[in-house]
Amino acid sequence: MMTSTAFQEIPIIDLSNATSKDPALRRALAADIRNACVTVGFFYVKNHGIPEEVINKAVGAAERFFSIPIEAKMKLDIHASPNFKGYTALLGENVNLNNKGDLHEAFDVGWESEGTVYSSDGAMVGSNVWPDNLPGFREDVLTYYDAAVRLGLSLFPLFALALDLPEDFFADKVTKQAAIVRLLHYPPQPLQPMEGVEGIGAHTDYECFTVLWQQDDTPALQVMNTDGKWIDAIPIPGTLVLNLGDQLARWTNDVFKSTVHRAINRTGKGRYSIPLFFGTDYNVVLEPLPGCVTPDNPAKYEVVTAGEYVKSRLDATYAQSRV
């Protein structure tokens, strides 16, 4: 069932029926998701299935990591990685190319398991890097990663139903855990705005969708509504924020919205958040889905593979500071 926030733009969707055996309940949930995807591109989810203990341990891991000396963090510099894994320092990336840099630091992790064999069929594949002498960090981050990926995989059948496709339509397109989890730390932003510097500049996400945990007492996320005005996506305890990314927008020929958003931390204290960016397998072709191209809505995008698209966006994001 869907309810609305006080802003009337960003709905709250209850995922309790996501895996219900009753197809009518799953379709009703998918209809709520479709409405949010068509009108906003953002929604909160509750009863999402990630245990609070798992979230708390991941947040604790982020706090421990970002408190170590900068010299230790820079040994894991993402700019030295061929597959965008590792640490990003303050102003080390710039998602809004009209800005000078983003006022946050980050640590990016992808899928791994015992005995993982990494293929070379895509630029995003490859091993993670990990800090030394930080007991429990890797375990706590990967436990959250696995839980968030399970949530993400459970959403794809609902997106398929929302598009009047078979529930298993996406199953063969998300087989290689094409998901990146990012630990983020935003220092307090000065009350007097810094020209060309925001916590993270206005942008759309690159993948199919993002699952975001944000700190309850530290609002920063803002979403641009259809009138071009910024709406605060206030933290709501017990929920995660889900927003669509460019892959689904391109796939649906903009029937589903990839909405511009940003983060500005004016709370006077540090802020932590943990997004999981969920994309498809690298070689999946992003061509319009059935029913998404009509005479009134002709095809808008060049057909590319998912991996080519994401890599091009990441290259642009880090280009100004890559060594």
- Would you write out the chain's pLDDT as a tens digit for each of its 323 residues? 444 333 357 999 999 999 999 999 999 999 999 999 999 999 999 999 999 999 999 999 999 999 999 999 999 999 888 778 999 999 887 777 677 778 899 999 998 765 444 444 444 556 899 999 999 999 999 999 999 999 999 999 999 999 999 999 999 999 887 899 999 999 887 666 677 677 888 899 989 999 999 998 889 999 998 788 899 999 999 999 999 999 999 999 999 989 999 998 888 889 999 999 999 988 999 999 988 999 998 999 999 999 888 888 777 766 644 33
pTM of the model: 0.90
Could you give the C-alpha distances from 84 to 78, 81, 181, 310, in angstroms and in order?
A: 6, 6, 12, 11
User: Is the CB of residue 262 less than 8 Å from the CB of residue 273?
Assistant: no
Rounded to a whole number of angstroms, the distance between the first and last alpha carbons of the chain is 49
Q: Write the CA distances from 140 to 60, 184, 188, 215, 303, integer angstroms.
A: 9, 15, 26, 17, 38
Coil, strand or helix: which one is 273?
strand
Q: How far apart are CA 242 and CA 12, in angstroms?
A: 10
Instruction: Give CA–CA dist 48/13, Å, rounded.
Output: 10
Phi, psi dihedrals of residue 293, rounded to the nearest 5°: -115, 120
**Please, what are the domains in the chain?**
12-319 (2.60.120.330)
Helix 23-39, helix 137-162: angle, nearest 10: 90
Across the chain, the runs of DSSP E, i.e. the strands, are 2-4, 11-14, 42-46, 86-88, 101-102, 105-109, 179-186, 197-198, 200-203, 209-214, 221-224, 230-232, 239-244, 261-263, 271-278, 285-286, 304-305
